[in-house]
Chains A and B, each alone.
Chain A
Amino acid sequence: MGAGSAAAAALPGERVPVTRLKRMLESEKVLASTLLAPGILILVLFIAYPFVMAIWYSLTSIRVGDPGEFVGFDNFTKAWSDTIFQVAFKNTVFYTFWATIFKLALGMWLALLLNRSFRFKRIIRASMLLPFIIPTVLSAFAWRWMFDPTFSVMNWLLFHTGMIADRLPFLSNGDWAMWCAVLVNTWRGMPFFAITLLAGLQTISPDLHEAAALDGANSWHRFWHVTWPLLMPVTLVVVVFSVIQTFSDFQLIYVLTGGGPANSTHLVATYAYQVGVASGLLGEGAALSLFMFPVLFAVVWVQLRYMKRMEGH
């Protein structure tokens, strides 16, 4: 029998012994701190500590097996003048922008389709999540095979259906390779958009659509003036998450192209890995990766401002 039940069983007027710990926990502040402590500990250990270490590394000349010395902002200035980094940064912006646009457009289209009633609705909704569930490394390998310069199944199909005379340079041409990466990212990320937007769509009362239809609004008007504004908060959250994930993407490019050909598809994350981990220049690698921070911070800041404004309304 626990202390609580003992207290409950005590007669009125009888004094119940209260432990010191129990008294402390009765204080709201202490209780809140106690409950928050494990979460804070995890944040400090796995997010704050690596982040602070990355900042420290970026200010030193540390390389593998050599702690190096404090060099101030040298690593940042070196990165800024690094032509490969400049390409990688532009690639990251390009990749994030187009992949997010496609994921949003196609995800929205899919969500609107799935919001309708049709046979096998549940199975189709569940199966749509497959690209999101499959580990990225595995799916990127599968795509790499499909884009293989010599054995691409797509080239084979197009050639044998008479649509092309020469193989398409999916991964061997820098521009093609970048668009291939955008395509694979879109394929992988679209289900997340679709499912989240679908959840948002289901919270919109059908009455609003009915009323708009009675007022003579066609389907485009109903989407633009009813669905879209009501979906905006969900859309914004999902876009922000996607931007953060896409901007810091690593696995997909690492497996699909390794940053090639001739650095054409390097993203900031893959280039930082090549410099920091593969070449052992940990300080320079940390500085390169920290260039992502201001961009992602700005994205989150805009999102938080917008959410706050929405709450105000």
Chain B
Amino acid sequence: MKRRKFLKATGAGFAATGLAGILAAHRAPVFAQANTVHILRWNDFVPAADKVLREVYVPEVQKALGIKLNVETVNANDIPARATAGIQSGSGPDIIMLLNNYPQLYAAGGVDVSDIAAEVGKAQGGIYGLPESMCKVGKQWVAMPWATVPALIAYRKSWFDEIGVKEFPKTWAQYHEAGKKLKAAKHPIGQTLGHTFGDAPTFAYPMMWSYGGQEVDAKGKVVLNSKETVESVKFMTQFWKDAHDEGGLAWDDSNNNRAFLAGDICASLNGASIYVAALNGADKFKTEKGAPLHTDILHAPLPAGPKGQYAYHTAFTHMVMKYSKNVKGAKEFLRWAHTPANYEKWLVVQKGFAVAPTTQWEKHKMWEADPVMLPFKTASRAGRHMGFAGAPDKKAAEAWNKYIIVDMYANAASGKMKPEESVKAAAAELAKIYT
């Protein structure tokens, strides 16, 4: 075909299907009406789960609903900046995955998804209390719970056996004693007290609660500076020095995974990602005796303090953004993703690292596959929210975001402040929020 002929033919074709066609049809062209949903999520610690989103959800939701799903993943620590930028500029992802009680902080930017929550909760045995408290503002659900990552201690059974601890310590005092011996044997406990979203707060808050400390009372009055909180910080300061890898002050949420898999630490509070990585890389990660590392890993809850045993599990939720041009499509996608047949595809690859927000999934056969993961099955039933005994509202989210409780322990553990000073400083910071 000659160039002139080609241009003539394509030009005529364009004209026929182009402007004239649009005018004749009295509607916008198809590409302008594309039902696209842009979802922003974290880089999952179980990469296979992101693969399911991209390789299974994308084609299937296109086929089922005609939705073109655009999946974007970023470091979880960067999500708040994206949410703020999106809400303030009025443009960005249609759905943003939020952590913990961020839905409270960004409530003004999310649409009401109470209808989806009611449908999913009713059909799947009810939504757990912890994610519900994160997502509800008054009676309205401003975000839809997607999953919870329970925080349990992953530990090396053989190393605990070697020091004569056959069962994981039930109390902080017992854990301290075991940790001392393990650190002396060059197997310290690994725990982050750094500025990072997951493992640092999920450790620091329950530690405080287990001694009877709390940020505020039920009326929202700051009561942090108490004898109980000071006791917990005093304990942690000594525990840190005696039993921990002190580099943990600069760790993010991935350092403990690497240190554990490298055989540097004996235990760490974590989701199940350490175990899942060891399981998936059985040939790569070995014990010093050459056995697959995963065969030497067990899970246990955080020990109890003088005032009880507590946990905080990280809630992952989806907020449909008010500024979205496709709220309908975004909600349709969420509804579709939560139907058991679709949700299951994502959940099973998590192998228990993330658990469902509804109780029905405790009965899933995936829990029969691996007894090591069993403690995660029901972990979501318990758990306290940040800001206890007040609400997990935006003030609690602000306190978390400023790492006030984490830094209270870090300041004392690092020797920068005395425990009493550290608690006093943290209480003063909290008082500025709870005015």
A positions within 8 Å CB-CB of B: 64-66, 78, 82-84, 148-151, 167, 169-174, 177, 257-264, 273-275, 277-282
Residue ID in chain A nearest B85 by CB atoms = A277
Cβ B401 vs Cβ A274 within 8 A? yes
Cβ B398 vs Cβ A281 within 8 A? yes
Cβ A83 vs Cβ B416 within 8 A? no
Flag whether B57 is at the interface (Cβ < 8 A). no
Chain B residues, CB < 8 A from A65: 87-88, 106-109
Chain B residues, CB < 8 A from A274: 401-402
Chain A residues, CB < 8 A from B106: 64-65, 280
Chain B residues, CB < 8 A from A84: 402, 429
Closest beta carbon of chain A to B370's beta carbon, Å: 28
Q: How far is the CA of A167 from the CA of B188 in the complex (A)?
A: 14
Residue ID in chain B nearest A65 by CB atoms = B108
Q: How far is the CA of A274 from the CA of B429 in the complex (A)?
A: 14
Residue ID in chain A nearest B397 by CB atoms = A279
Cβ B259 vs Cβ A150 within 8 A? yes
Residue ID in chain A nearest B252 by CB atoms = A258
Chain A residues, CB < 8 A from B175: none
Q: How far is the CA of A274 from the CA of B353 in the complex (A)?
A: 29
Cβ A279 vs Cβ B416 within 8 A? no
Q: How far is the CA of A173 from the CA of B398 in the complex (A)?
A: 25
Closest beta carbon of chain B to A147's beta carbon, Å: 8
Q: Which of B80, B84, B264, B416 contacts A264 (CB 8 A)?
A: B416
Chain B residues, CB < 8 A from A83: 425, 428-429
Q: What would be 8 A-B contacts, judged by CB atoms less than 8 Å apart?
A: A64-B106, A149-B247, A149-B250, A150-B259, A260-B249, A263-B403, A277-B85, A279-B80
Chain A residues, CB < 8 A from B402: 84, 274-275, 279
Q: How far is the CA of A170 from the CA of B251 in the complex (A)?
A: 12
Closest beta carbon of chain B to A264's beta carbon, Å: 7
Among A83, A169, A174, A262, max chain B CB count under 10 A is at A262
Flag whether B49 is at the interface (Cβ < 8 A). no
Q: Which of A78, A263, A278 contacts B80 (CB 8 A)?
A: A278
Cβ A171 vs Cβ B109 within 8 A? no
Q: How far is the CA of A97 from the CA of B90 in the complex (A)?
A: 40
B positions within 8 Å CB-CB of A: 77, 80-81, 83-85, 87-88, 105-109, 193-196, 245-252, 255, 258-259, 262, 264, 394, 397-398, 401-403, 407, 410-411, 414, 416, 425, 428-429, 432
Cβ A260 vs Cβ B194 within 8 A? yes
Chain B residues, CB < 8 A from A150: 245, 247, 255, 258-259, 262, 264
Tell whether A279 pairs with B428 under 8 Å between CB atoms, given A171-B250, A261-B194, A262-B416: no
Q: How far is the CA of A126 from the CA of B427 in the complex (A)?
A: 53
Cβ B429 vs Cβ A174 within 8 A? no
Chain A residues, CB < 8 A from B414: 172-174, 261-262
Closest beta carbon of chain B to A160's beta carbon, Å: 16
Tell whether A279 pairs with B194 under 8 Å between CB atoms, given A169-B247, A172-B246, A262-B410: no
Q: How far is the CA of A171 from the CA of B250 in the complex (A)?
A: 6
Chain A residues, CB < 8 A from B105: 64, 279-280
Cβ B84 vs Cβ A278 within 8 A? yes
Q: How far is the CA of A278 from the CA of B410 in the complex (A)?
A: 20
Closest beta carbon of chain A to B407's beta carbon, Å: 5
Cβ B194 vs Cβ A258 within 8 A? yes
Cβ B109 vs Cβ A278 within 8 A? no
Q: Which of B77, B84, B255, B397 contacts A149 (CB 8 A)?
A: B255
Chain B residues, CB < 8 A from A258: 77, 194-196, 252
Q: How far is the CA of A278 from the CA of B77 in the complex (A)?
A: 9
Chain A residues, CB < 8 A from B432: 78, 82
Cβ A172 vs Cβ B250 within 8 A? yes
Residue ID in chain B nearest A285 by CB atoms = B84
Closest beta carbon of chain A to B342's beta carbon, Å: 30
Closest beta carbon of chain A to B376's beta carbon, Å: 26
Closest beta carbon of chain B to A257's beta carbon, Å: 7
Residue ID in chain A nearest B110 by CB atoms = A65
Q: How far is the CA of A172 from the CA of B416 in the complex (A)?
A: 12
Cβ B250 vs Cβ A280 within 8 A? no
Residue ID in chain A nearest B86 by CB atoms = A64
Residue ID in chain B nearest A257 by CB atoms = B250
Chain B residues, CB < 8 A from A64: 83-84, 87-88, 105-106, 108-109
Among A66, A84, A150, A258, max chain B CB count under 10 A is at A150
Cβ A277 vs Cβ B194 within 8 A? no
Cβ A174 vs Cβ B416 within 8 A? yes
Cβ A66 vs Cβ B108 within 8 A? yes
Chain B residues, CB < 8 A from A281: 398
Q: How far is the CA of A66 from the CA of B106 in the complex (A)?
A: 10
Q: How far is the CA of A196 from the CA of B397 in the complex (A)?
A: 47
Q: How far is the CA of A220 from the CA of B247 in the complex (A)?
A: 45
Q: Which of B255, B410, B428 contacts A261 (CB 8 A)?
A: B410
Chain B residues, CB < 8 A from A273: 81
Q: How far is the CA of A136 from the CA of B195 in the complex (A)?
A: 21
Q: How far is the CA of A65 from the CA of B111 in the complex (A)?
A: 12
Q: Which of B81, B247, B249, B259 contacts A262 (CB 8 A)?
A: B249
Closest beta carbon of chain A to B82's beta carbon, Å: 9
Cβ B85 vs Cβ A172 within 8 A? no
Q: How far is the CA of A262 from the CA of B80 in the complex (A)?
A: 20
Q: How far is the CA of A118 from the CA of B360 in the complex (A)?
A: 76
Q: How far is the CA of A243 from the CA of B351 in the complex (A)?
A: 51
Q: Which of A78, A259, A261, A279 contacts B249 (CB 8 A)?
A: A261
